[in-house]
Amino acid sequence: MTVPLIGVVADRKSASSGAWVDIPTDALAHAYISALQEAGGAPLMFPSLDVHVADPDRLLDLIDGLFLPGGRDIDAELYANEAHPSNDPPLRIRDELEFALVRGARDRGMPILGACRGMQVMNVALGGTLEQHIGDRLDLTPHRATVGEKTEHPVAIHEGTLLHSITHDDEFDISSHHHQAVDQLGEGLIASASAPDGLIEAIETTDGSFCLGVQWHPEERLDPEGITLIKAFVSAARAHGRAGAPVREVAKAS
């Protein structure tokens, strides 16, 4: 059985355990790791370091697909804006690394899946912009009712898109936690899902490659649409690995 390696960039957070309090930690919520593993992938986590930004190809050589998880807001300077007062303190090195990996993965035709912040990273990396606080224009409640708690709302999936071909649904409920949204689309991107208030809820490329971002958290609502989406991504990564990267085999247990 071929198990594709899935690259994921870690966030930097303070963590506490026992006597150790507020220790800077490169980490990622286990829900992402667990979902990728359940879908048949093997996650490979990268810390955000200058050496990786300078040479992202070394990381891309190791993996078959790139997964972009949720997290803090992107530095608004990277899409020529001043930061909104509600924005998170940015981790610029993570932004720069994920941008470099997105662009490099696109050059290779490597499958990409972005979730929440990950969709926004895709859009900005490809030249798009973000609306920094949708609560200034719309009711924020369906998208983020309380900081730290996810909410639910329906999304409409656009016909004729990759996303629709994966889910085979016209509409379903998603797990949501965001206050920013795609504004101007990046180069080569189209919207493939929307919320009842008109916000773009998914984006994808039009060149036939697997490059897809969703504004929600599929890892938090796996049954059925979440795991279907992640399995489709892992399957595309497996095919990419077979086509151009060394085949990695997992030995059967004796």
Active site residues: 116, 217, 219
Q: Provide CB contacts within 8 A for 163, sequence distance 6+.
A: 157, 192, 193, 202, 204, 212, 214, 229
What is the rounded distance in angstroms from the CA atom of residue 147 to the CA atom of residue 178?
A: 9
Four-point Cα dihedral 190, 111, 70, 231, nearest 10: 110
What is the rounded distance in angstroms from the CA atom of residue 142 to the CA atom of residue 100?
A: 32
Contact 114, 135 (CB under 8 A): no
174, two tokens: 């998603």
The CB density around residue 39, as the number of other CB atoms within 10 Å, is 23
